[in-house]
Structure 1
Amino acid sequence: MQFQHPELLYALFLLLIPIFIHLFQLRRFKQVDFTNVAFLKKVTIQTRKSSQLKKWITLLLRLLALACIIIAFAQPFTATKTALNTEKETVLYLDNSYSMQAKGSNGPLLNRSLQDLYNVQLPSEKISWFTNDVTRKNTSLEDFKSELLSVSPSQGQLALSEVLLKANQLFSNAEASDKRLILISDFQQNEAFPEIPDEVTVNAVQLQPVNTNNITIDTAYIASKNGNNMQLKVAVSGSGDVPASVPVSLYKGKTLLAKTAVDLSSEKKNTTVFDIETSGNLKGKLELTDPNLAYDNSLFFSINAPKKIKVLSINEVNSGFLQRLFGQEEFAYTQQTQSNLNYNEIPNQDFIVINGLKDIPASLAVALQSFSKQGGSVLVIPSEKANLSDYNNLLATLGMGRFTEKVSAEKQITQIVFDHPLYENVFEKRVVNFQYPTVNSYYQTNTNATDVLRYEDGNPFIFQKNNTYFLSAPINLENSNFQNSPLIVPTFYNMAQQSLAVPHLYYTIGQQNKFDIAVQLMEDEILKIKDSSSTFIPLQQTKANKVTVTTIEEPATAGTFEIVKDADFIASISYNYNRSESNLQYMDIENWEGANSSASISALFDTIMEANNINSFWKWFVIFALLFLLLELLVLKFFK
């Protein structure tokens, strides 16, 4: 037991005063002689004994009453250490990811948790709380409960380490305060449990669905293309107890184009193919029916009229290999010689290849620098008889270092930078044993640019800065067999493809997505992205003959959108939710060291309120004081 005013307990020493008065009172009994002396002596003794007993009882009751009054003024109470801490901070994390749409015993997990939070009694007058897409600091309980009604599912999901980091930003720096973090989530399996800071108390409620069955459309991609006909391959997967097959429908807008069944009986993952005839823009949607999670039952995609990538090669040596690479229907390939080069054509290109020029005049270097600054991509293949002064001037102009000398020695190209964007999704695994291409002579390079391919000694064979690529050796057949190497196709092909990053079939919401729109904008003109209900202006960079568009936070909903300039339609773009929420596998929070788990939201808050309760006893001591005073009156009146 503790006391709010313990200094008042010193008043208990005052109880000694009536004790001293009682023990040292000087009043004496007077002797009275009567005839029958023996009888009178007996009466006197009995009267004296009964009088002393009555006084002791009266004294005891008065002392107890006075002691109870003193203790009542000292205000005794019992409480836990948490309850005694006057400064308490509560931060609440509510997981509103799409996996929380799974159905629990009382309906969807997110809806049930919102209702329970609205009904519980919160432990403090202010609370900081956040979801995967909303953060509020020190809000009143009224504002908290009113904003709960507007919480909706979000495509993002914070990892537990990110939750702890964000909660730490919402806590104050006060070391003496009691910091409590409440997590309400299904704890979908995405990482190991992080370590909990010593100064934070973590309470967790794990919401569990009644079943973990789910079917999802994982992805779609163009498997092959022939003229206006293409094959769209769709991957479908199932987890848990799923049916043997599921129908998948293909829509163009609201029109049903085709429907097929996907077999899930064996590996619970399969693909199906749709044959599509496209002669223009296609706003498509794939759809299946699944009663559990609904967000991953649809996948939007869009196919725009193809835009040819303009490739220009400026040659002084044989360019047959470039013709074979870029003479495909997705490229508009032209070639010129240095002697009859039309400089007016350079700004209209997407990708320019300098192929084996001995000299690079200053006018060409300036034109290439301007072209690169406007967003164009350049590939420079040096000549065996290159004028190092001209090449170093171009390298310096582009900020890519310099060639120091020519070395006539054979060297193998053995190192592929697999993480480079040029080789994304090119290799199934990191190949270390392959038929290495070689060069018979090369230029020693001093550069701080990014390597794409390296020689066996680690020096760069292809290096890149921004959108410009340089080779450090000629690749004509007399000097190298690189033209016959399998590496040349993905390397040069992807250089050209990335010079005009046309929109993909679809993009994923919540990630940084970047693509190019082949359109020329006048001053003050901008591109907008819109659907039937909303419009937003994306981050965009205007270049000579294209606009580079970047989207990050918007759009927030899946669907197919239109890219427009004023009221003119330019292209279609589709966005879908991340499929990571579709795997209904969960962690066991009992294994999270340092976390306190509760069976339900209401049980958690009842426990917190009980831990924060202060049990005060001063009323009981007032009642006991009145009771002792009443007993004293009864003793004085009825005790004989």
Structure 2
Amino acid sequence: MAFLYPSFLFALAAVAVPVILHLVQLRRAKRVLFSNVRFIQVSKDLTASQRNLKELLILLCRILFIVFLVLAFAQPFLPASDTAVATDESDVAIAVDNSFSMQNMHQQEDLTLLNVATDQAKVIADLFPASAAIMLSSTDMLNHGAPVQKNEAAAILDQLSFSAKSFAASAALKSQPSHLFILSDFQKNTFSPSILGEADSATQVHLVPMAAATTTNVTIDSVYLEDEFIRSGAENLLHVLLTNTGSEAIEDVPVKLFLQDEQASALSIDLPAKQATEAVLSFKAAGNKTTRAYVQVEDYPVEFDNTYYFVLAQSAPIQVVEVSDAPNSNLQRLYSNEPFFRFTSFRSGAINYASMAGADIVILNGVESLTAALAATVANYVKEGGNLAVIPPAGENRGAYTTLFQNLNLPASFTGASADAAKTSLATPNPNNPFFRSIFSDFNADMQMPSAAKSLAWSRASDDILKYRGGAPFLSRFNRGSGSVFMMAAPLKENYSSLPNHALFVPIMYRLAISSYKQLQQLAYTLGSETIQVPALGQRNKREGVYELRKDTLAYIPEQQVRGGKLIFNVPPDMDEAGFYTLQFQDSAVATLAFNYSKEESYLEQYSPDELKALVGNDRPNVHVYDYGDAFSVKGEFEKRYFGVKLWKYCLILCLFFLMAEIALIRFL
């Protein structure tokens, strides 16, 4: 034990005062005369030994009162167990996690984890002297990163609100404070113990975990359309992927779809524990305008991920380019009958390569004498993300087809079948194949199928869409990078195939074009995502200016560039509110984009204090993990370790105790 002010111990000489008073009281008794015996009071018998014991006890209480009073002023304390850091002169950093996961409720208090963490941070700040510099940090920069005095810390902490960004304590570690307190729920999904290795060995890192009441949470991961090609008035299906991140199943979770703030569809779904479940909602896209839509679930207390925003934009016409040497192509009339196709046909010797580069699909329809230049152009088109359909020629002159197959690494070759070759019937298609989705309203496995010769053969396709009855492929898809190649085994000639006269011909050719359609603008984007591409419609008039993202009164100017008619930009880092944003070029609205929060914070499972201690191990003696508890338990453990145990309060309590004991002895004995 040591004393903060040992000079006060000289005051122990005051113990002589009650001793002297006690000795003075040992004088001879006086005689008292009474005029009448009726004035004599009844006295209590008291032996000399009892009287001496009482006086000794009173003397002892007075002595101890003075002793503990002097000790209270001398302020005794037990020295700290860790004296590696001079805490009186140190700078301190307090990092408070204010990410969305801190919306969860505390295990013992009816408060959010953020409220509890803020209260504990205030108590921790009071541990240090007024001269200590305290730096406050969170997922957002507090007070511009400048250190403050402890009397200012409480006001700044009260300004904390939830942030869309994930919590990272690495920024506070860079300042290399003497003490760093991290108050967080320490999510397993976001917290990496490896960042503790960035701390300087002189920095004492204190991990203060928050105990969550539950880890159950429902989040909307993503949505996608059954038919990516959106047509006005056409019925479509929306697939919603929901995840229950908790360890308990949830029943009858309501899922609602809103179009332009009006409810369009709803259902209830059961969500198993720690599993993703798909819900399907039907809707009709009305009109030819962009529709703002969102899916909503009811879940408490973590609510930031209960809404998923997306945009239903009417699809642009599908650009179909045919290269054919036939004077009257049977595909021209087929695609020209539908307004959502833009069909263009070229002869193999007169091709507009600019139109070909902008097509959604290029169809080589029986091109004879394929030139090497055309083969190289088509191969580059596929490698850059285009879609190609190869329908073999009827003649024997095949030109550069072999070169084309080699450039695209297609294991295909011609069989040499002639027009009078035997035809083989096709097998019934698989209705579960995504290619035939929504084609059959009433599938008949015994339907009559067309027949065709085999002019082109291949192996190892990505997907065999149609097959011969013997199992050989008739129509297959090959994935090549971001592009695709569709190959048909027979020409579209009556003497080679009866498919052009069959009922399946129209839906198959339509599906080839529609499946090649790529919506450049996605349904939704994630805040903090890297790069976004949208059509640069605002550049048609060649005016100079910059694109802006606007939401209500907020405007953000992202890093941007325009290449090949596409606007490429990054999401601004300070854009952190989910919802709908208007992409504007000067005064013109280019597009409406939907942004949602990242789902990292939706997974609430956290490290317990024991797990944190195991992760920290013994190789980081400067990292300390506190058990679950209130702010005062953390305060007491920290004071004991770095400030020692102060005993002056106990001395003051004992001082008052012996004073009361003296009064009781005089009054009742």
Fold match, TM over 0.5? yes
SS at match of 1:111: helix
Residue 181 of structure 1 aligns with which residue? 180
Residue 526 of structure 2 aligns with which residue? 508
The counterpart of 2:634, out of the listed 604, 613, 625, is: 604
Give a deviation string over 1:559-583, Cα, whole Å, max 9, x none: 1222233333333221122233333
Residue 596 of structure 2 aligns with which residue? 576
Using a 3 Å threshold, how does the CA distance of structure 1 residues 179 and 554 change in structure 2: closer, same or farther?
A: closer
Residue 83 of structure 2 aligns with which residue? 81
CA contact (8 A) 1:408 1:441 kept: yes
Cα distance in 1, alignment partners of residues 588 and 456 from structure 2? 51
CA displacement at 1:82 relative to structure 2: 2.3
CA displacement at 1:379 relative to structure 2: 6.7
Residue 561 of structure 1 aligns with which residue? 581
CA displacement at 1:282 relative to structure 2: 1.3
Using a 3 Å threshold, how does the CA distance of structure 1 residues 210 and 615 change in structure 2: closer, same or farther?
A: closer
Q: Which amino acid aligns with 1:502?
A: Q
Residue 269 of structure 2 aligns with which residue? 263
Cα distance in 2, alignment partners of residues 326 and 541 from structure 1? 36
| TM-score of the superposed pair, with normalisation by structure 1 | 0.57
CA displacement at 1:538 relative to structure 2: 3.1
CA contact (8 A) 1:183 1:204 kept: yes
Residue 292 of structure 1 aligns with which residue? 301
Q: Does 1:169 align with 2:174?
A: yes
Q: Which amino acid aligns with 2:148?
A: S
Residue 527 of structure 1 aligns with which residue? 547
Q: Does 1:246 align with 2:253?
A: yes
Using a 3 Å threshold, how does the CA distance of structure 1 residues 403 and 349 change in structure 2: closer, same or farther?
A: closer
Q: Percent identity?
A: 17
SS at match of 2:314: coil
Residue 342 of structure 2 aligns with which residue? 332
Show the 5 A alignment for 1:446-465: none
Using a 3 Å threshold, how does the CA distance of structure 1 residues 313 and 569 change in structure 2: closer, same or farther?
A: same
CA contact (8 A) 1:311 1:326 kept: no
Residue 134 of structure 1 aligns with which residue? 141
Residue 154 of structure 1 aligns with which residue? 163
| TM-score of the superposed pair, with normalisation by structure 2 | 0.55
CA contact (8 A) 1:94 1:130 kept: yes
Show the 5 A alignment for 1:49-448: 80-84=82-86, 88=90, 90-104=92-106, 105-119=109-123, 120-121=125-126, 123=128, 125-134=132-141, 137=145, 139-141=147-149, 145-158=154-167, 163=169, 165-171=170-176, 179-190=178-189, 194=193, 196-197=196-197, 199=201, 200-224=203-227, 228-238=234-244, 239=246, 244-254=251-261, 256-258=262-264, 260-264=266-270, 269=277, 271-279=279-287, 280-314=289-323, 332-342=342-352, 345=355, 349=359, 358-359=370-371
Cα distance in 2, alignment partners of residues 109 and 322 from structure 1? 65
Using a 3 Å threshold, how does the CA distance of structure 1 residues 408 and 2 change in structure 2: closer, same or farther?
A: farther
SS at match of 1:81: coil
SS at match of 1:264: strand
CA contact (8 A) 2:258 2:293 kept: yes
Using a 3 Å threshold, how does the CA distance of structure 1 residues 600 and 232 change in structure 2: closer, same or farther?
A: same
CA contact (8 A) 2:179 2:205 kept: yes
Using a 3 Å threshold, how does the CA distance of structure 1 residues 539 and 587 change in structure 2: closer, same or farther?
A: same
SS at match of 2:224: strand
Give a deviation string over 1:423-464, Cα, whole Å, max 9, x none: xx99xxxxxxxxxxx99899xxxxxxxxx99xxxxxxx9866
CA displacement at 1:303 relative to structure 2: 0.6
The counterpart of 2:567, out of the listed 547, 560, 564, is: 547
Using a 3 Å threshold, how does the CA distance of structure 1 residues 544 and 580 change in structure 2: closer, same or farther?
A: closer
Using a 3 Å threshold, how does the CA distance of structure 1 residues 79 and 462 change in structure 2: closer, same or farther?
A: closer
CA contact (8 A) 2:584 2:591 kept: yes
CA contact (8 A) 2:582 2:592 kept: yes
CA displacement at 1:229 relative to structure 2: 2.0
Cα distance in 2, alignment partners of residues 551 and 376 from structure 1? 24
Using a 3 Å threshold, how does the CA distance of structure 1 residues 131 and 345 change in structure 2: closer, same or farther?
A: same
SS at match of 2:114: helix
Any stretches of 5+ residues in structure 1 without a counterpart? 5-71, 172-177, 393-400, 411-424, 427-437, 443-451, 454-460, 618-640
CA displacement at 1:251 relative to structure 2: 2.8
Cα distance in 2, alignment partners of residues 3 and 496 from structure 1? 83
Cα distance in 2, alignment partners of residues 96 and 228 from structure 1? 44
SS at match of 1:591: helix
Using a 3 Å threshold, how does the CA distance of structure 1 residues 193 and 259 change in structure 2: closer, same or farther?
A: same
Give a deviation string over 1:618-638, Cα, whole Å, max 9, x none: xxxxxxxxxxxxxxxxxxxxx
Using a 3 Å threshold, how does the CA distance of structure 1 residues 551 and 186 change in structure 2: closer, same or farther?
A: same
CA contact (8 A) 1:250 1:257 kept: yes
Q: Which amino acid aligns with 2:345?
A: Q
Q: Which amino acid aligns with 2:222?
A: T
Q: Which amino acid aligns with 1:287?
A: Q
CA displacement at 1:557 relative to structure 2: 0.8
Using a 3 Å threshold, how does the CA distance of structure 1 residues 565 and 552 change in structure 2: closer, same or farther?
A: closer
CA contact (8 A) 2:332 2:345 kept: no
Cα distance in 2, alignment partners of residues 92 and 134 from structure 1? 12
SS at match of 2:193: coil
Give a deviation string over 1:323-380, Cα, whole Å, max 9, x none: 9999998653433123232467457656667887744669x999999x99xx996879
Q: Which amino acid aligns with 1:101?
A: Q
Cα distance in 1, alignment partners of residues 260 and 216 from structure 2? 29
- Per mean C-alpha deviation after superposition, the further-off stretch among 291-300 and 119-128 is 119-128
Cα distance in 1, alignment partners of residues 550 and 342 from structure 2? 30
CA displacement at 1:597 relative to structure 2: 1.4
CA displacement at 1:184 relative to structure 2: 0.9
Using a 3 Å threshold, how does the CA distance of structure 1 residues 439 and 382 change in structure 2: closer, same or farther?
A: closer
Using a 3 Å threshold, how does the CA distance of structure 1 residues 237 and 85 change in structure 2: closer, same or farther?
A: closer
Cα distance in 2, alignment partners of residues 586 and 566 from structure 1? 47
Using a 3 Å threshold, how does the CA distance of structure 1 residues 514 and 3 change in structure 2: closer, same or farther?
A: same
Q: Which amino acid aligns with 2:279?
A: T
Q: Which amino acid aligns with 2:186?
A: F
Equivalent pairs, count: 472
CA displacement at 1:112 relative to structure 2: 2.8
CA contact (8 A) 1:187 1:587 kept: yes
Using a 3 Å threshold, how does the CA distance of structure 1 residues 536 and 287 change in structure 2: closer, same or farther?
A: same
CA displacement at 1:262 relative to structure 2: 0.7
Cα distance in 1, alignment partners of residues 555 and 584 from structure 2? 10
Using a 3 Å threshold, how does the CA distance of structure 1 residues 547 and 349 change in structure 2: closer, same or farther?
A: farther
Give a deviation string over 1:283-314, Cα, whole Å, max 9, x none: 12333333311212222222112223434354
CA displacement at 1:185 relative to structure 2: 1.0
SS at match of 1:510: coil
CA contact (8 A) 1:511 1:552 kept: no
Give a deviation string over 1:387-436, Cα, whole Å, max 9, x none: 79xx99xxxxxxxx9999x99999xxxxxxxxxxxxxx99xxxxxxxxxx
Any stretches of 5+ residues in structure 2 without a counterpart? 5-73, 416-433, 436-454, 464-477, 492-498, 500-507, 617-623, 648-669
Cα distance in 1, alignment partners of residues 573 and 222 from structure 2? 21
CA displacement at 1:168 relative to structure 2: 4.3
Using a 3 Å threshold, how does the CA distance of structure 1 residues 578 and 377 change in structure 2: closer, same or farther?
A: same
CA contact (8 A) 1:98 1:154 kept: yes
Residue 426 of structure 2 aligns with which residue? none
